[in-house]
Structures are given as structure tokens and as C-alpha cells.
Amino acid sequence: MENLKTEQIKIMGNSGPEEYLLKENDYGDALVYDIFHKDHYLLTLSRDGSILFMNFDADESEKGIFKLSQLNQFITRIQDIS
């Protein structure tokens, strides 16, 4: 695995914009995007927006990202940088 790119992004949440860390990783046959909030791992998305893994043990306050409206913001951002 090779970390290709890491960037801070802002996503609009229920209580206003929140900052997340988006890490682009190359596994040879696939590019994936790990998403972190305040250094806590939340989920991994593929380049096409498929959810590969979700951290269901995340704090309740961080699970808002699992809502479709917020996931769509990440997917749009990933497609913009791809």
C-alpha cells in the first residue's frame, strides 16, 4: 500500500461545516480513500464511491457521516480529485 495524497476537506454537517482528513491509498489494483475525523478512522470509500468499510464502533457524534447526504459530499469530492 502506498499513501498517494492526504488532504483536509470540509463537509457540511448538521451543525455546520466539519473538517475531515481524506487519505488516498494505492493498493496496486485499486485506489481507496480513508476518511478520518479528529484522528478517528471512520470509513473507506472506493474511487466510484462504493463503501468498502465502515467503522461502526465510531463515536455517535461522528456517525453522522454515514448519512447519504454527507456521503454524497465525499463522493463528489473524490470524483473531483480523481
In angstroms, the Cα distances linking 19 to 3, 13, 26 are 20, 10, 23
Query: How many helices (H) and strands (E) in the chain?
Result: 1, 5
What average pLDDT does range 14-33 have in this prediction? 88
User: Domain of 46?
Assistant: 2-77
pTM, two decimal places: 0.86
Quick check: helix, strand or coil at residue 47? coil
Instruction: Report the number of distinct structural domains present in the chain.
Output: 1
Q: Give me the pLDDT at residue 2, please.
A: 78
Q: Which pLDDT band, with edges at 50, 70 and 90, does 21 fall under?
A: very high
pLDDT band at 14 (very low <50, low <70, confident <90, very high): confident
Amino acid at 77: R
pLDDT tens digits for range 35-67: 999 999 999 999 888 999 999 998 888 888 888
Domain assignment present for 82: no
Closest CA to 39 of 24, 20, 54, 25: 20
Q: Is the pLDDT of residue 11 over 80?
A: yes
Q: Does residue 14 belong to any structural domain of this protein?
A: yes
